[in-house]
Chain A
Amino acid sequence: MIRIDRVLLLTSVCYVPLVSAEWQVNLIEGATDISRSVYDLHMIIFYICVAIAVVVFGIMFWSIIWHRKSRGAKAAHFHESTWVEIIWTIIPVVILVSMAVPASTTLIQMYDKNNADLDIQITGYQWKWRYKYLNQDIDFFSSLTTPQEQINNQQAKSEHYLLEVDKPLVIPAGKKVRFLLTSNDVIHSWWVPALAVKKDAIPGFINESWTLVDEPGIYRGQCAELCGRDHGFMPIVVEVKSPADYQLWLAEQANLKVAEQQSAQRQMSQAELMAQGEQVYKARCAACHQPEGQGIPGVFPGLVGSKLMTGDAAEHINVVLFGRSGTAMQAFGEQLSVVDLASVITYERNAWGNQGGSVTVQQINALLKE
């Protein structure tokens, strides 16, 4: 018997490193000074709690084992003692004060958002993030790229399942970056564990936070406040680049802008519009209006056979460009390129049996100017 026990014990001890590799059980230390102090704080408090638990449960199990009736224990008669009560009030207070000191220091550090090198405004949308680099001409949306097939188990799941986006937030290493968080609709929360930053994005208000990452790398996180249907599908990816790479990235962004403007000049055939429109629809609209345009009754209107799809195109374009304020329908005019807009609207007007004819880039441009 004893041998078997030992063998089991031994194997389980050997298994521990294996286990902890796969089955992560603790907070990560993260990539910033702040995240490391948070980690230390977490560990200190954890150990204090363990120590208290050992003492309290120790005494309790001592009584359970030794003071049981079946062992012939006779109950003692004591039932109060003022000084014991005082002692076990004071000791916890002392312990708590010793926790509060490092906690306050860390918190005060986190609130020191002065002297940032770079300001980025982060806006939460149902269900994507928008990153706008203040004082620079960079402004883009970042949304989930995991295909529906993977989510619906029709395809093997990739390594970064649900934690991958089309355009990550890019920041330079070694620079203090200030985030100005807000939201376009409901409350979201921007959270990247490795940076120990979690701040709510509240519509109409701005929350400030900051980070300073020493090493380049890719850090992933998720929206951490219930924000509706696709709250679970709203990841965050932060790519920290060395200052040199960061400069390259900036230049690349400028080039992209030019390229986009050029493509907007080109005439597109209905087939081209439909093909591109389907892509855009799947990526941007299907979450609410559903892949087949049927919508979800009572929440998201269906687009199949809707009067808007077959009637006046201007009204349709208007809804997509400017959204309907106070509803989940956002203003896509600021999110999509004109080409994407023209194609997705064309797609909606001609897919699923709708017959509304196509919409051109020029029409969009005209309405956008107004």
Chain B
Amino acid sequence: MGNVEQVVHSAGHHGPAKGLTRWLFTTNHKDIGTLYLLFSLTMFFVGGCMALTIRAELFQPGLQLIRPEFFNQMTTSHGLIMVFGAVMPAFVGLANWLIPIMIGAPDMALPRMNNWSFWILPFAFAMMLSTLLMEGGGPNFGWTFYAPLSTTYAPPSVTFFIFAVHMMGISSIMGAINVIATILNMRTPGMKLMDMPLFVWTWLITAFLLIAVMPVLAGVVTMMLMDIHFGTSFFDAAGGGDPVLFQHVFWFFGHPEVYIMILPAFGVVSEIIPTFARKRLFGYTSMVYATASIALLSFIVWAHHMFAVGMPLAGELFFMYTTMLIAVPTGVKIFNWVATMFRGSMTFETPMLFALAFVVLFTIGGFSGLMLSIAPADFQYHDTYFVVAHFHYVLVPGSVFSIMAAAYYWLPKWTGNMYNETMGKLHFWLSFIGVNVTFFPMHFLGLAGMPRRIPDYALQFADFNMVATLGAFLFGLSQLLFVYNVVCCIRSGKKASNEVWEGSHGLEWTLSSPPPYHSFIEPPIFSHPYKDGHRGE
């Protein structure tokens, strides 16, 4: 620690330390990336088990397995864990692994802070999960924790929940600062911003969103804390405050948050589709601009989650129009991907299958989003399973599929071994079927009038709920295949070449598989993968 005998990096040949301390004290972007990814996988399973508990209770009408108060805790924790524990850390893990090797940097810009960002997370989640065991139970007010249910009427554990959210916020902000500093400052000489791979671009924009909105989340939970313990009246009309104020501030964070969970996914898909179409990404520039427009628009649409709170008409119209507009840049992205495939030379390895399913199913989720954005119609959809269907379509076959695609795509690079393709394909098809069987019927449930966040329902909803539960167990079980495949791939497997894929493009494929512990000790000579014609063209 205070040891003056620093190993100066320029020597560069020291490998990883041995044992547990390698992971505890590491400053290496790959180790930290691995930690993030493993953490995220664990949380995906924890959150998934909660989802299965929910689904099992909803298998039939009536209360069978759990009591309503526990059901609410499951719904809340499931949402929070999947969002903050599974999807976000997975993308940060990918960023850590990939950004340096995509831009030719030796490591992330601020390696020690990088490790700190990670190690805050296990503590934050330990604290959040521990609330489930406290008297009065854990958070039971939904992942959106609307006041006053989450303030005056909340169990005492809400205080720990608030501090856990603060910790996650600190972690995300530091992580995002690191990503921005790395991208802006560490590109290899010659790589201009408009030469960067799209994954790097989408992360640059995501990091900006994170830094802009995580502090707002911190602000809103701080106001909650004050209302709970210090007698303020931010969310209490009796003192001149307003419960709806909570929702405005929360969704000012919350809506950009959902794009934080999808923009890196766009980046991943934009890397994968050109590879397996063996054709250069169509419309690179417009992709960059579309991503930026989505991010900017995301700051002025937040109240589409609040159409039913009774905003004045002008507000309702404003948020309806701006929300609808987001379909335009998102459409541009979809069209560009399709144009990339058009007249390509396609093959369908597992990463490509996941990416294709992403394009189709995310679009379906986007369409239901568009329907939700129509304010008068949203009065019928709001807080029903139609919304649940919408966001699971964009999040599960959206974000989660893109993470799976990324894992398969870069696993050979990370481990040096090929994964088992047959098993990968099997995993894909089971997941694809499982996801649709689980979440498609939820559209019907919602339209037929089933509210969300209920442990028991009227009889007319019984059939589709049964189907959805079966699908959820199928989808959940098939994830075990993924884990098995990854473990096998780490341990052994056919050796992967440096390029791995026939159509691969970008600096990361010029490194060995697996890459050396310190990636680019000397900045590599950058040449545009297409302009210099050594790949693809």
Contacts and interface: CB of A to CB of B under 8 A. Distances in A.
Asked if A and B are interacting partners, one says yes
Interface of A: 22-28, 37-38, 41-42, 45-46, 49, 52-53, 56-57, 59-60, 62-64, 67-70, 73-81, 84-85, 88-89, 92-93, 96, 99-100, 103-104, 106-108, 110-111, 126, 150-153, 157, 159-163, 181, 185-187, 189, 191, 193, 196-200, 202-205, 207-208, 221-233, 296-299, 326-328
Contact of A60 (B135, B284, B360): B360
B284 A79 contact: yes
Contacts of A26: 444, 447-448
A198 B149 contact: no
Interface in B246-295: 277-286
Contacts, number: 304
A177 to B, nearest CB: 17
Contact of B243 (A100, A203, A296): A203
B63 interface: yes
A56 B309 contact: no
Contact of A70 (B136, B347, B367, B379): B347
Name the 4 nearest CB pairs between A and B, nearest first: A204-B237, A298-B136, A232-B454, A298-B135
B376 A110 contact: yes
A93 B456 CA distance: 41
Interface stretch (B166-174, B206-214, B313-321, B513-521): B313-321
B278 A38 contact: no
Given A80-B283, A204-B238, A298-B155, A103 B376 contact: yes
Nearest to A64: B346
Interface stretch (B9-17, B20-28, B414-422, B459-467): B459-467
28 contacts: A23-B464, A26-B447, A27-B380, A41-B377, A56-B335, A60-B360, A63-B342, A75-B343, A75-B344, A96-B328, A103-B374, A107-B317, A157-B61, A162-B61, A162-B456, A162-B457, A187-B149, A198-B382, A204-B237, A204-B243, A205-B310, A207-B309, A224-B383, A229-B140, A231-B68, A232-B453, A298-B137, A298-B155
A202 B243 contact: yes
B72 A205 contact: no
Nearest to B69: A229
B313 A107 contact: yes
B301 to A, nearest CB: 14
Nearest to A126: B153
B375 A157 contact: no
Contacts of B334: 56
Contacts of A108: 313
Contacts of B375: 103, 107
B141 A100 contact: no
A96 B64 CA distance: 45
B153 A328 contact: yes
Interface in B350-380: 356, 359-360, 363-364, 367, 370-371, 374-377, 379-380
Interface of B: 61-64, 68-69, 72, 134-137, 140-142, 146, 148-149, 152-153, 155-156, 236-238, 242-244, 277-286, 308-310, 313, 316-317, 320-321, 324-325, 327-328, 331-332, 334-335, 338-348, 356, 359-360, 363-364, 367, 370-371, 374-377, 379-380, 382-384, 443-444, 447-449, 451-460, 463-464, 530, 536-537
Nearest to B280: A79
A75 B536 contact: yes
B338 A56 contact: yes
Given A64-B356, A228-B153, 19 more contacts: A26-B447, A27-B380, A37-B376, A38-B377, A38-B380, A59-B342, A69-B346, A75-B344, A79-B530, A80-B283, A81-B283, A96-B327, A161-B458, A161-B459, A187-B146, A203-B237, A225-B146, A227-B149, A229-B69
B146 A163 contact: no
A160 B380 contact: no
Contact of A111 (B134, B237, B313, B359): B313
A225 B376 contact: no
B344 A67 contact: yes
B239 to A, nearest CB: 9
A262 B142 CA distance: 46
Contacts of A196: 376, 379-380
B332 A53 contact: no
